[in-house]
Amino acid sequence: MHRTQRAASAAALGAALALCATACTVITVKPAADPLASLSSGQIAARSYADLIASSSVRMNGSRTSTTPGSFSLELVKSEGCSGTISITGVGTFQILVIRSKVWIKPDAAYWDQQKISTAVLHIVSGKFLQGSPSSTGLGVMSNLCALQAIANDSSAAQRTHATFAGQKALVFHGPDGATVTVSDSAVPEVLQVTHFGSGEGTVDFSDFNAPVTLTPPPADETITNGAYYGM
């Protein structure tokens, strides 16, 4: 490069730097403020629980390790019911559908294999939904899982810590009994997980708030209406 070209380049660079010094704005990125920082633990818990109970629908995936071990995956629809599966360790897996005052349970083959029923009866009930009401012994117990208020029971939680849950910022509230409630650290806090200890020890995760869910009764030819007669 000739001396005159270098001089011209240097002059152009100098002019650009001078222009930026007067016209360019230095942007400082500040950490986002915690939207819940000004609220007490009680206020955050109350807000998140109120939103949970008010949700038109929510998905729950849970497990229980004491008393009656097992797991469940359910979609709950407010004031309507729920649908999904329930597995009881050593017993079997059940499809469950609750629509208002009606309950349908479809046991799997593992459950029926343990029942002392004849081959003729097994032929009738195998692969079918047993219909009853929440007052039916077995059907009623299972339908209690659709009671969101009972599962997500609020408890006093004075201490809270920051955490990450499923890749998002969260707050964990610690109850005096060792139970925890995890909520999203966001302007609208959502309950993400509840853990229980003691006789009801287990974990419940919440997701898919207000997603569209339709509860549809099973076809009549796949339903036995006197389900309680068969031990459910």
pLDDT for the residue numbered 21: 37
Instruction: Report if residue 56 sits inside a domain.
Output: yes
- Band (22; pLDDT cuts 50, 70, 90): very low
Q: In what order do the strands lie in the sheet with 180-184?
A: 159-165, 168-174, 180-184, 191-196, 202-207, 57-64, 70-77, 81-88, 92-99, 102-107, 129-132, 223-224
Does residue 18 form part of some domain? Answer: no
Q: Interior CA angle at 72 toward 69 and 73, to 5°?
A: 165
Q: Tell me, what's the pLDDT at 50? A: 87
DSSP-assigned letters across all residues of 22-42? HH-----PPPPP-TTTTS-HH
For residue 63, list its beta bridge partners: 71, 203
Which of 114, 75, 76 is CA-nearest to residue 92? 114
Q: What domain range includes position 49?
A: 41-225
- Report which of 52, 78, 96 is spatially closest to residue 189, judged by C-alpha positions: 52
Q: Domain count for the chain, please give it.
A: 1
Q: Are 110 and 94 in contact (CB under 8 A)?
A: no
Query: Is the residue at 152 inside a domain?
Result: yes
Nearest residue to 203 via CA among 107, 108, 61, 83: 61
pLDDT category of residue 227 using cuts at 50, 70 and 90: low
Q: Is residue 204 part of a domain?
A: yes
Q: How far apart are CA 95 and CA 128, in angstroms?
A: 10
pLDDT digits (tens, 9 = 90+) for 182-209: 999 988 889 999 988 776 789 999 999 9
Q: Tell me how far apart the alpha carbons of residues 147 and 134 are, in angstroms, rounded to a whole number.
A: 12
The answer on pLDDT for 23 being more than 50 is no
Q: How far is CA 207 from the centre of its chain?
A: 4
Taking the C-alpha atoms of residue 193 and residue 124, their distance in angstroms, rounded to an integer, is: 40
Write b or e for each residue in 79-99: b if 16 or more Cβ atoms lie within 10 A of its Cβ, otherwise e. Answer: ebbbbbebbbeebbbbebbbe
Q: Residue 36 falls within a domain, yes or no?
A: no
Span 48-107, pLDDT tens digits: 888 898 899 999 999 988 778 999 999 999 989 999 999 999 999 999 999 988 899 999
- Asked if residue 47 belongs to a domain, the reply is yes
| CATH number, domain containing residue 207 | 2.50.20.20
